[in-house]
Amino acid sequence: MLAILFTSLVLTNKVDNRLLQLWVFASCSVIVVRVILLRAVTRHADLSEAGKRVVATLLTLVLGCTIGSVLYFYPHVGTFERAMLTAILLGLCTISHSTNFGYRPILLSYIGPLLGTLGILWIANIDQLMHPALAVAVGVSVLIVGLTMLLNGKFMFDVFALSIESSIKLEEQSRHLSDALQLAEQAKSEAEASSQSKTRFIAAASHDLRQPVHVLNMLGAAIAREKMSPRASDIVENMNIAVTSLSSQLNALLDISELDSGSVKPVIRSVNLSALADKLKLEMQQLAADKRIELICDLPSDLYVRTDAAMLSQIIRNLCGNAIKYTFTGHVRIQASASPSTVTLSISDTGIGIDDADCDKVFEEFYQVSNPGRDKGRGMGLGLSIVERLIRNLGHTIKLTSRVGKGTDVTICLKRCTQSQVAAAVAAESPSSPDITLQPGIWVHLVEDEEAVQRSVEMFLQSVGCKVTITASSSSTLEFLVQQTPDVMLIDLRLQNHDSGLKVVDWVNEHRPDLPIAIVTGESLAEGEVAREYPDVLLLQKPVNNHDLLELLDYLVNSEQTPDRELGSTVTEHQ
């Protein structure tokens, strides 16, 4: 409409003004009517798509012819007015091209009456107002512009349609990605909930499974101290061997579960690797002697590394135990080499060796070399699986090389301590604990709610000359302590009816700080929590064998109760 008004200004007083006004009115009216009818047609549900396109084409043809009728004034104006008309009509066709290029009939119905008629008029050169060649050139140019618009219309529409299709696909992909992210978030939430459920299950199952094995350990140790016939003694010995095997296998299974659940977190500090290896050699010396093989520990003195002492002890113990198990002649050697920044610990043997095809399998659960029959007397095949998980938690690296019939070499790469870290570790080391000198008549008070555990521990402690008293709840224990003062207390963590032995620990710490106490629990997840909240309280985890229990009692009775209790860490490491 603005173009129509501008055209009327150019032609005013140059042509018949009444006809010009009629043209302006007719053109604007057709524009308004076309807009109204097109909106009505596009919303008409009963009209087919083809029918809608026909109506739109006819309405556009009427509009093109109406606006193109302005060329009636072309012969009556001069060159300037003709040039202005040409510019205005080219502009209108360009605008029409940008909105109607998707359907050629519509585009042709508008461009044809305007540019077609205009081009012919220029070529005709009415009144010979300009050179014929120039007039023909202008007319042909106008026709070429119109033809180009028609040819490019389809191409531009294809590009436009492609962009629309790409936009739709992008929206669909975004929606699918959003749905996938929601599913991933849901799966993550479910996995976290499952992990938490697994952790709670491990805690409960660990306590319930450790308790009966703990009872068997105590009863077996108590029976072994009684006078019996040789045959009965042999039966008890075999029974204790079976219980020890059961205890070891149960601990291995629970260790695997705890490591997988992430409840076990390493405490990295400076560790004297030489002293640790020497201590483990003494522990496993008899096992090697029984196989008539030599256990050699060849480490430089005062070699310190950054690691978790308890976890590294279990790694070395499992690797040495595995090496001794599969070595029948020769030796098992623990050695180390050091560089300024790393320490390479090596455990090698002269055993049966491992085939190359099996080297990657030995760290899998329940896999055992040369035990296809799954003889439970030879373990469960969890030792190296635990090693792999511990190594991963500590951030160390492990490598296994082996030759069948020649032996196996396992190397572990650890970070070496700096000079300042070594100096700090040496300053923090405590003197070794005294030898066990358990005296008869020691009064041990047991806080335990399970009757079977009460009887088994009482029978064992009485067999070694201890006086034993028992309470089953925190309230009855506190009433007992108001009147009595035992030599040492062993406290279970989880008692019946949601009661907790920590109430007794809190009371003793406040009112009887000199009374030696220790926690003996079957909770698999309790160790880390209690260690953080009660750093001065010793902890032993069920099932407990008689040697560890006697060592704990001897330490509690004969050692000063200092905040830094070396035996506490030793007992925890051993378990």
Q: What spatial distance separates the first Cα and last Cα of the chain, rounded to whole Å? A: 94
Instruction: Kindly report, residue by residue over 55-97, the tens digit of the pLDDT.
Output: 988 998 999 999 999 999 988 888 888 889 999 998 888 887 7
Domain boundaries, the chain: 2-130, 204-264+433-575, 268-428
Strand partners, 467: 443
pTM (two decimals) = 0.43
- Collapsing DSSP states into helix, strand and coil, what is residue 134? helix
What confidence score (pLDDT) does residue 558 get? 80
342-349/331-338 β-pairing: antiparallel
Q: Of how many residues is the chain composed?
A: 575
Instruction: Kindly report, residue by residue over 127-160, the tens digit of the pLDDT.
Output: 888 888 998 998 899 889 888 888 777 677 777 7
Question: In this model, does residue 511 exceed pLDDT 80?
Answer: yes
User: Of 18-27, 38-47, 134-143, 288-297, which range is least confident?
Assistant: 38-47
- Collapsing DSSP states into helix, strand and coil, what is residue 226? coil
Residue with the bigger pLDDT between 380 and 13: it is: 13
CATH 3.30.565.10 fits 268-428, yes or no: yes
What confidence score (pLDDT) does residue 369 get? 53
Provide the mean pLDDT of the chain. Answer: 80
What confidence score (pLDDT) does residue 246 get? 63
Question: In this model, does residue 290 exceed pLDDT 60?
Answer: yes
Instruction: Kindly report, residue by residue over 229-275, the tens digit of the pLDDT.
Output: 887 877 777 777 666 656 655 665 566 566 555 556 677 888 888 88
- The model's confidence at residue 311, banded by pLDDT at 50, 70 and 90, is confident
Question: In this model, does residue 203 exceed pLDDT 80?
Answer: no
CATH among 3.20.20.70, 3.30.300.130, 3.40.50.2300, 3.60.15.10 for 204-264+433-575: 3.40.50.2300
Residue with the bigger pLDDT between 430 and 115: it is: 115
Segment 129-136 long-range contacts (CB within 8 Å, at least 24 positions apart) = 129/78, 129/79, 129/82, 130/79
What confidence score (pLDDT) does residue 570 get? 38
- The model's confidence at residue 568, banded by pLDDT at 50, 70 and 90, is very low
- The model's confidence at residue 573, banded by pLDDT at 50, 70 and 90, is very low
What confidence score (pLDDT) does residue 258 get? 61
Distance of alpha carbon 202 from the chain centroid: 20
Question: In this model, does residue 575 exceed pLDDT 50?
Answer: no
